[in-house]
């Protein structure tokens, strides 16, 4: 029962460059577009049930690729297809308001992530429980430590069970004991979702949980295969780059 869950056809994405008045006029006369190519010629098919990792150096387009899949950036060329609801796990706690209580922030963050009101009311107790905030939940968020905020963020984000889960470097937040718990929770989510795409720099984890790892380099797919192969290729590339310097 191999069914396609995510399908990218020849995706290309360019970012425009910020310009000032002089370069706008110059470019107009030279008929030139200043672009930065973030992704180019990405063809990808991910089956349901697969856990796919994406690796690559900083700026290779990993996060951008996840954003393209989740619809944040529309590609300039090509089409993206996906089956079911998608949820991107990144930057836990974005949109938190320092002046509202933990409880209000849970509702706010939940609604930003696209949960319905009913769903949030139903899960609120579970979220508060998981965040281990205790009586702090009714204190304003500005009194929280960074770890507490991260815990609340993860508690809300992990309350959803999407068909497709995209994870961007959020494994392991908080103090060591919560780190274990959060990692467990995310791994649980990985098991619960039918399709998972993970961006991470921790190769150990990638080899453990991924069926397949994709290596991105300058916005292109350099290697798409077993975790060990892609990681090996990554080091080869990194070596080359170092030698160049």
Partner 1 sequence: MEEAEVDSPPLRQIGVKSPPLLAPFTTISELKSNRFLVRNLIRREVRGRYRNAALGYGWAVIEPALLALVYWFLFIMLSGNPDKMYAAWVLVGVIVWGCFAKSLNGATNSLTSNVRTMHLVYFPRSIFPIASVGANMIVTMMSCLVMLPIIFVYDLPITIHLFWVPVGVFLAGFMALGLGMMVAPINCIQRDMQHLIRFITRAGFFVSPVMWTAEMAMERGAWGESALWNPMVVPITMVRHGLEGKIVDLPFYIIASSIITAFVMYVIGTIIFSKYERRAVKYL
Residue numbers of the site for partner 1 (CB under 8 A)?
A: 1, 3-5, 7, 15-16, 18, 48-49, 67, 69-75, 79-86, 88, 90-91, 94-95, 97-100, 104, 107-108, 111-114, 116-117, 120, 161, 163, 188, 191-194
Beta bridge partners of 188: none
**Residue (90 or 237) nearer to partner 1, CB:** 90
- Three-state DSSP state, 159: coil
In angstroms, rounded to a whole number, what is the distance separating the alpha carbons of residues 79 and 74? 9
Q: Which of 86, 48, 40 is nearest to 65 (CA)?
A: 40
Q: Closest separation between CB of residue 239 and partner 1, Å?
A: 32
Q: Closest separation between CB of residue 117 and partner 1, Å?
A: 4
Q: Closest separation between CB of residue 17 and partner 1, Å?
A: 9
Q: Closest separation between CB of residue 237 and partner 1, Å?
A: 27
Q: Closest separation between CB of residue 108 and partner 1, Å?
A: 4
**Residue (46 or 133) nearer to partner 1, CB:** 46
What lies within 8 Å, CB to CB, of 36 at 6+ separation is 14, 15, 16, 17
Q: Which DSSP string corresponds to 190-242?
A: HHHSSEEEEE-S-HHHHHHH-SEEEEEETTEEEEEE-HHHHHHHHHHHHHHHH
Q: Closest separation between CB of residue 232 and partner 1, Å?
A: 32
**Residue (105 or 230) nearer to partner 1, CB:** 105
In angstroms, rounded to a whole number, what is the distance separating the alpha carbons of residues 171 and 182? 7
**Residue (194 or 207) nearer to partner 1, CB:** 194
In angstroms, rounded to a whole number, what is the distance separating the alpha carbons of residues 189 and 156? 13
**Residue (116 or 145) nearer to partner 1, CB:** 116
> Which two structure tokens, joined as six digits, stand for 157?
């984000």
Using DSSP bridges, classify how beta strands 35-47 and 4-16 pair: parallel, antiparallel or unpaired.
antiparallel
**Residue (104 or 229) nearer to partner 1, CB:** 104
């Amino acid at each position: 029962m191999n069914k396609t869950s995510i399908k990218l056809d020849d995706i290309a994405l360019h970012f425009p460059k910020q310009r000032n008045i002089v370069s706008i006029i110059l470019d107009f006369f030279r008929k030139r577009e200043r672009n930065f190519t973030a992704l180019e010629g990405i063809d990808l098919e991910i089956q349901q049930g697969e856990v796919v990792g994406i690796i690559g150096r900083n700026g290779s387009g990993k996060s951008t690729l996840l954003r393209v899949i989740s619809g944040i950036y529309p590609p300039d060329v090509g089409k993206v297809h996906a089956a079911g609801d998608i949820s991107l796990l990144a930057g836990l706690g974005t949109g938190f308001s320092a002046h509202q209580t933990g409880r209000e922030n849970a509702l706010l963050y939940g609604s930003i992530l696209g949960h319905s009101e009913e769903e949030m009311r139903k899960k609120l107790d579970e979220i508060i429980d998981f965040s281990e905030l205790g009586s702090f939940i009714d204190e304003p968020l500005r009194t929280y430590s960074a770890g507490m905020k991260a815990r609340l963020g993860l508690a809300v984000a992990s309350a959803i069970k999407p068909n497709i889960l995209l994870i961007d470097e959020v494994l392991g937040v908080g103090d060591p004991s919560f780190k274990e718990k959060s990692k467990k929770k995310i791994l649980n989510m990985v098991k619960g979702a039918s399709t998972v795409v993970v961006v991470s720099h921790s190769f150990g984890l990638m080899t453990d949980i991924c069926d397949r790892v994709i290596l991105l380099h300058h916005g292109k797919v350099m290697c798409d295969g077993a975790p060990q192969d892609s990681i090996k290729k990554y080091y080869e590339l990194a070596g080359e780059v170092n030698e160049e310097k």
